Amino acid sequence: MSFQPHPFLLIPSQDGTLELIFAAYATTASASTSLIMQLLKHPRVLEKLREELRSKGILHNGCICEGSLRLDNISGLHYLDCVIKEVLRLFTPISGGYRTVLQTFELDGFQIPKGWSVMYSIRDTHDTAPVFKDVDVFDPDRFGQGRSEDKEGRFHYLPFGGGVRTCLGKHLAKLFLKALAIELASSSRFELATRTFPKITLVPVVHPVDGLKVKFFGLDSNQNEILTGTDVMLGATV
């Protein structure tokens, strides 16, 4: 049986396929794992998320209210937005990006010729940007209305890159992370399944060396744990 591709169907090359896997899966998986890890480390942040969900009418008696997960409702969750921003500031999945120099320029006394390929570091930018206070501290409130540390400069915060070639999927990625955070905050209790948190490596994306092992407990409408017939907890490695 022969296969005739549709005239408008684009078959990606091997390099293109790898790029799609990296951009659409690996980066989102990295950010999701970092989100879970930070919620495990900072239970007060998780509880504050729950309080926001309750105040916005999304979470009631331990359950997500039917029809409440609309885009406009999710966009109105300001603290959740701060949490996602802080996860991406501290644990940007990729370290940087490449650009082609369109016009010769000088930087710190060095001439960078037109046509050169240059790499910018997202991670170093976040670590050294003067607008961020206590850069090593996980502090979602830095993005709150009272501080808005990311608003003080154009290119101090760029987890999705910057300029005309910023990540095309950034809005979808943030929406996915917000939906995951809402699910974690509303329908389950979870805890680390190992004695200590795993070591983190940065290549090819930020991820735990041996995975992040987590135990999840389902919750009923009264926020009581739902046990299976054998009282076995659901374990997962992310």
Q: What residues are designated binding site for heme?
A: 167
Tokens 């009418």 — which residue? 57
Q: Say how many C-beta atoms besides its own lie within 10 A of residue 173's C-beta.
A: 22
Contacts of 73 (CB under 8 A, 6+ apart): 56, 58
Q: For residue 38, give the nearest of 101, 80, 95, 97 by alpha carbon.
A: 80
- 161 close to 167: Cβ distance less than 8 angstroms: yes
Q: Which two tokens stand for residue 206?
A: 């930020």
Contacts of 228 (CB under 8 A, 6+ apart): none
Q: Say how many C-beta atoms besides its own lie within 10 A of residue 45's C-beta.
A: 20
Binding residues: 167
Half-sphere exposure of 48 (CA within 13 A, CB side): 15
Tokens 């926020």 — which residue? 223
